Amino acid sequence: MGKEQQMAHSIIDKLGGASNIQTLMHCMTRIRVTLHDSSKADLAGLKEVDGVLGVVKDDTLQIIVGPGIVNRVTLAISEETGLNIHSVEDEESNPMDLEQMARMNKDAINKKNATPFKNFLRKIASIFIPLIPAIVASGLIAGITNVAIRMDANPESAFIQMLSLIGWGVFSYLAVFVGINTAKEFGGTPALGGAAGILLINPGLENITLFGDPLVVGRGGLIGVMLAAVLIAFLEKRIRKFVHPSVDIIVTPTLALLITGFATLFVLQPVGGFLSDLITKGLLNLIDIGGIFSGLILAGTFLPLVVTGLHQGLTPVHMELINSIGDDPLLPILAMGGAGQVGAAFAIYFKTKNQRLRKVIKGGLPVGMLGIGEPLIFGVTLPLGRPFLTACLGAAVGGAFQAFYEVATIAIGVSGIPLVFLVNANEMVLYLVGLVIAYIFGFLFTWTFGFKESMAKDI
């Protein structure tokens, strides 16, 4: 039995057996399952499974195993249990009986963190999480292309133009993907959500004049797209109640798209543009006026947001900054959250004698330096407690540095070392210096007062 198969077998056993697993999903770093009876799961034993870096009990039970291996272990669980692997965004579309629905609804009601604001951010996150692989890959290719051009590569050469096409393609049509996922998240037909997204990026907008002013392609950004997609999902469900099934396929989508189209052009695009301007100008003023203090606070408080998984809700904010001013000064600041944690993990690794803890850190550090922070968060700093706080302090120092030098990125992607390819070419060295500063201060704070060997006895 291979390593992944053994790990999958152990996870299934600690979850109460194959018959106790209701649904099986995974994201970039976590296996996500819902159980028929959560009392049968041995969470303490699950944390002890070799390769498991942490466990989060939320609306789904999330088992952190790290990027790359998560796909193979989930597949092994699927093969052993016979369960299909569902993407995270498809979770609510799976048919279930009334008993299962009641149990899941009860669990949802009893969630400790189910505040309206957090639920709203979770919905935003659910829209963008499925897009992350495409955004990361495209952003990295676009960044490398930008660096190559700055190093005197001929921008007119066929190879550079092909790289640019590959790298920027997703960002050119991101509105369509966001519209699809938004409609899906709010119970509508995905294709209609995509059609709503097209309304805001269609080049034909330039030929339309309303109230004396020509419409602007892209006005409203992704916020406008989400508003339009929510509206078309809402209309589709309401119209369907009054339409006979025999003509539903014709009447319902036609009316929903027609109403949404006019509402978008007359109302939602201007409203989306106003909200986009409000958010971007507000953040820029915060960074400009607050300077290093803004960077310190933003970076120092980012890791707690990552713990909840709500940080993905910031994706439209990053995109609006890029659309509005051409680059994103927020992402380098927030990227320091992961850097402070890497520094803290190094300090613990060199200080502790706990071999299991050292093994977890050794597995989490490489991906942590490459911008995937969950293994170190849930496997090291958060369970230990105080190192999580010292990691935040180290991040704050790095964030203050990034804010002072106004480092910004031209696209969005994973943080850590790979983000350097997305930073403005003349600011790449500054970003790396800030990254090292966050490493150093995360290390120093943790080494000095953030970790004692007694903390590792239960790890």
* pLDDT at residue number 373: 82
* pLDDT at residue number 1: 64
31-40, 114-123, 324-333: least confidently modelled range = 114-123
Tell me which CATH code domain 3-113 carries.
Answer: 3.30.1360.60
d(CA 314, CA 127): 11
Of 179-188, 202-211, 311-320, which one has max mean pLDDT? 179-188
**257-283 residue pLDDT tens:** 999 999 999 999 889 888 888 888 888
d(CA 379, CA 52): 8
**Report field, pTM of the whole predicted structure over 0.85:** no
**Active-site annotation holder among 8, 27, 148, 235:** 27
* pLDDT at residue number 357: 87
Percentage above 90 pLDDT, the chain: 44
* Inter-axis angle of helices 386-404 and 428-445, nearest 10: 150
Write a three-state SS string for 149-208.
HHCCCCCCCHHHHHHHHHHHHHHHCHHHHHHHHHHHHCCCCHHHHHHHHHHHHCHHHHHC
The type of residue at 231 is L
Would you list the domain boundaries of the chain?
A: 3-113, 173-290, 292-458
Both structure tokens of 363:
């597995």
d(CA 373, CA 136): 15
* pLDDT at residue number 227: 93
Q: State the burial class of residue 348 (Cβ atoms within 10 Å of its Cβ: 0-12, 13-18, 19+).
A: buried
Both structure tokens of 5:
């198969």
* pLDDT at residue number 91: 41
* Side-chain-facing half-sphere of 288: CA atoms under 13 Å: 6
* pLDDT at residue number 88: 54
Of 77-86, 110-119, 239-248, 249-258, which one has max mean pLDDT? 249-258
Which residues are CB-neighbours of 130 under 8 A, at least 6 positions away?
87, 88, 89, 181
The answer to whether 392 is a known catalytic residue is no
Summary mean pLDDT of the chain: 86
**299-352 residue pLDDT tens:** 999 988 887 666 767 888 888 888 888 899 999 999 999 999 999 999 999 999
- Number of DSSP helices (H) and strands (E) in the chain, helices first: 21, 7
| H helix or E strand, kind and range, residue 266 | none
**162-175 residue pLDDT tens:** 999 998 888 889 99
* pLDDT at residue number 165: 92
**Would you say the C-alpha torsion 413, 414, 415, 418 has a positive or negative sign?**
negative
Banded model confidence at residue 92, pLDDT cuts 50, 70, 90: very low
Which residues are CB-neighbours of 78 under 8 A, at least 6 positions away?
24, 84, 85
Find the mean pLDDT for residues 95-121.
Answer: 49
- Collapsed DSSP state (helix, strand, coil) of residue 452: coil
* pLDDT at residue number 100: 42
* pLDDT at residue number 95: 41
Q: Is a pLDDT exceeding 70 seen at residue 459?
A: no
Banded model confidence at residue 229, pLDDT cuts 50, 70, 90: very high
Both structure tokens of 332:
């380098």
Q: Is a pLDDT exceeding 50 seen at residue 103?
A: no
Both structure tokens of 427:
């600011």
